[in-house]
Amino acid sequence: MTGSGDGTTPLLQARDLRKSYGSVQALRGASFDLAAGEVVALIGDNGAGKSTLVKCLSGVEAPDSGEIVIDGSPVVLDSPSAARAHGIETAYQDLAVAPDLDPAANLFLGRELRRPGLLGALGMLDKQRMRREAAEQFSRLGVTLQDIDVPIGSLSGGQRQSVAVARSVVWASRVVFLDEPTAALGVVQRERVLDVVRKVRDTGVAVVLISHNMPEVLAVADRIEVLRLGARVARFTASDVTLEQLVGAMTGALTQEEGR
């Protein structure tokens, strides 16, 4: 067990999570550890349960059993808002954005800015300010959009994904989950996302990166956790792992720990 190593309490832990969809067991005793300020890559074959684990840790799905621990105390993340309240943000693999709303509206979805004063108290939005701040954030994070006023559904898949990543990064104060953020991206955008990951890490926010791209994982992650058939099977430090070990862990040729 490597754990958090230095004896400090880990920021976020999942212990023995189980989750079934009907007869499909997506998680069979999955565990996960995350320390403050580190980049952890979560890898595994298709259907290994990565996205399900992320959903459980972001309050989107409720695990059937198991425990989620933040700063050493067990928590119940029974809604996305509960996870947000702990500073956890997520760029989901699917259903991340509202396709009929523009990028600025999506960036501020669920956190709409209201006008100052009485009009704001009546619920009136401050659209100008949201648009301006969204444009700033997009350019800071290298999201290139020709037109910021079109519904996000009319953007390319990669642009949509970039907006989802930007949103999670902008709001996260402790943890960002990025579920295959680079899957639809071109080479340039992919590098930008990895840069963003590093920048975010430098501000002290922990990043969990899900990816099938091993060079990318090795380039940016501090640690790697491997999920197979709904349970964690191995943990590595990125600096002393080989591609063979990672592939071995994902395919089941190599197992460090068993789902409990």
Partner 1 sequence: MLLVLAVGMTFVIITAGIDLSVGSVLVFAGVVAATVMEALGGGDATDAGPGVVIAGLVAALVGGGVWGLLNGLLVAMARIPPLIVTLGSFGAALGAAQLVTDGVDVRTVPKALRDGLGFGQTFQVPHMVALAAVVTLAGAWLLHTTRFGRRTFAVGSSAEAARRAGIPVRGHLVRVYTGVGLLAGLAGFMSLAYFGTTTISGHSTDNLNAIAAVVLGGTSLFGGVGTVFGTVIGVFIPAVLTKGFVIVGVQQFWQPVAISAVLVAAVWFDQVRRRSRDRG
Ligand X SMILES: Nc1ncnc2c1ncn2[C@@H]1O[C@H](COP(=O)(O)OP(=O)(O)OP(=O)(O)O)[C@@H](O)[C@H]1O
Distance CA 140, CA 67 (A): 37
Of 62-101, binders to ligand X (CB under 6 A) are 93
Tokens matching residue 247: 């592939």
- C-alpha span between 213 and 243 (Å, rounded): 11
How far apart CA 4 and CA 14 sit, in angstroms, is 13
Cβ atoms of residues 241 and 224 within 8 Å: yes
Size of the site for Mg ion (CB under 5 A): 2
Between 42 and 141, name the residue whose CB sits nearer to ligand X: 42
Could you say which of ligand X, Mg ion, partner 1, none residue 23 binds, taking C-beta under 5 to 8 angstroms by partner kind?
A: none
Query: Measured from the CB of residue 25, what is the shortest distance to ligand X in angstroms?
Result: 8
Q: Which is nearer to partner 1, 90 or 189 (CB)?
A: 90
Whichever of 18 and 201 has its CB closer to ligand X, that residue is 18
Q: Burial level of 230, CB count in 10 A (0-12/13-18/19+)?
A: buried
Mask: binding to Mg ion, 93-112, rule CB under 5 A, as x and -?
Answer: x-------------------
The angle subtended at Cα 21 by Cα 19 and Cα 25, nearest 5°, is 55
**Minimal CA–CA distance to 192: which of 212, 178, 173, 175?**
178
Among 14, 30, 35, 48, binds ligand X (CB under 6 A): 48
Site string for ligand X, 7-26 (x = CB under 6 A): --------------x--x-x
Q: Could you say whether residue 52 binds Mg ion (CB under 5 A)?
A: no
Q: Which residues are near partner 1 by CB under 8 A?
A: 58, 60, 79-81, 84, 90, 92, 95-101, 105, 109-112, 114, 122-125, 127, 151, 153-157
3-state secondary structure of 89: strand
* Region of 39-47, 121-129, 197-205, 232-240 interacting with ligand X (CB under 6 A): 39-47
Burial tier of 113 (Cβ tally within 10 Å: 0-12, 13-18, 19+) = middle
Using CB distances below 5 to 8 A depending on partner kind, what does residue 109 bind out of Mg ion, partner 1, ligand X, none? partner 1
Least Å from the CB of residue 207 to ligand X: 17
204 binds, among Mg ion, ligand X, partner 1, none (CB under 5 to 8 A by kind): none
Stretch (H or E) spanning 178: strand 175-179
Nearer to partner 1, 24 or 109 (CB): 109
Task: Count CB-CB contacts under 10 A for residue 213.
Answer: 15
Q: Which residues bind Mg ion (CB under 5 A)?
A: 51, 93
